[in-house]
Chain A
Amino acid sequence: QVQLQESGPGLVKPSETLSLTCSVSGGSINYNYCSWIRQPAGKGLEWIGRFSATGSSNYNPSLKTRVTMSVDTSKTQFSLKLNSVTAADTAVYFCAREIVVANDWYLDVWGRGTLVTVSS
C-alpha cells in the first residue's frame, strides 16, 4: 500500500522559499503523478500542480511563476519549492498520488499534510 509523507520547515520568512518533500513508501508512483494541494486554515483546497516520475508537470497558472517541482533520482522523493512567499501562502500543504484509470484521473492516496506558516 503506497503511503505519502510530507516534510519540511514549518516556518518560513516572507520573501524566502518554501521547500517541501513528499516521501513515497510501500510502493512506487512511477506511472502516476505526485500532486500538491494546499489549504489555508478554515478554507478550501487549492491545486498547486503535479509532477510525474518521468518529469512531466502541470502547474496552477496563479502560482506558476513561483513554483518548481521535481523528483529525485530514486523516484521516491518529490519536492515542491515556492519562492517569494507571503502570509497568503500560509496553509496546510498536502501531497497526493494522482492515478489514471480508463482516462479518468483522481487523487487516491494523500499524505497527512504539513502546516507551513509564513511569518518573520
Chain B
Amino acid sequence: DIQMTQSPFSLSASVGDRVTITCRASQSISIYLNWYQQKPGKAPKLLIYSASILQTGVPSRFSGSGSGTDFTLTISNLQPEDFATYFCQQSYSTPRAFGQGTKVEIK
C-alpha cells in the first residue's frame, strides 16, 4: 500500500503570505495526486487534481506541482478564507491514501 506524508503538520501565516505544503508518496504515483481543503465542521473540498489541475471555481492563487513521489501545494497571497486544513491524496492505486493534513493558521 502507498503511504502519503505531508509536511509541515501545521503552519502559521499572515494574510498576503505565500505558503507551501509538501506531500511525499512512499512510491512513485506519477501525477495521480489530489489536494483537498477542509474547514472545521465541513466536508473536504477538491482543490487540485492530477497534481496541478485546478478544479473549476478554485481561485488561481492555489497551484500544485510535482510528479513521481514529491508534490507541493502553494497558496499565493493567502486570504482569510484560506485558513483551513489541507490534505493530499493519491489516486494511483487502491487503497487510496490521504496525507495526515496540514493546518494553516493565522499568525
Contact = CB atoms under 8 A, between A and B. Distances in A.
Given A46-B98, A104-B32, A105-B91, A110 B49 contact: no
A107 B44 CA distance: 9
Interface residues of B, number: 24
B100 A107 contact: no
B52 to A, nearest CB: 11
A44 B100 contact: yes
A112 B87 CA distance: 17
A105 B42 CA distance: 22
Interface of A, secondary structure class, is: strand
Contacts of A61: 1, 95
A60 B3 CA distance: 13
B46 interface: yes
Interface string B83-96: 00001010100111
Interface residues of A, number: 26
Interface in A76-120: 94, 96, 101-102, 104-108, 110-113
A110 to B, nearest CB: 4
Contacts of A46: 98
Contact of B91 (A96, A106, A111, A112): A106
Nearest to A106: B49
B45 interface: yes
A45 B46 CA distance: 14
25 contacts: A37-B98, A45-B44, A45-B101, A47-B95, A49-B95, A50-B96, A58-B94, A60-B95, A61-B1, A94-B44, A96-B43, A101-B49, A102-B50, A104-B50, A105-B91, A106-B34, A107-B36, A107-B44, A107-B46, A107-B89, A108-B46, A108-B49, A108-B55, A110-B43, A110-B44
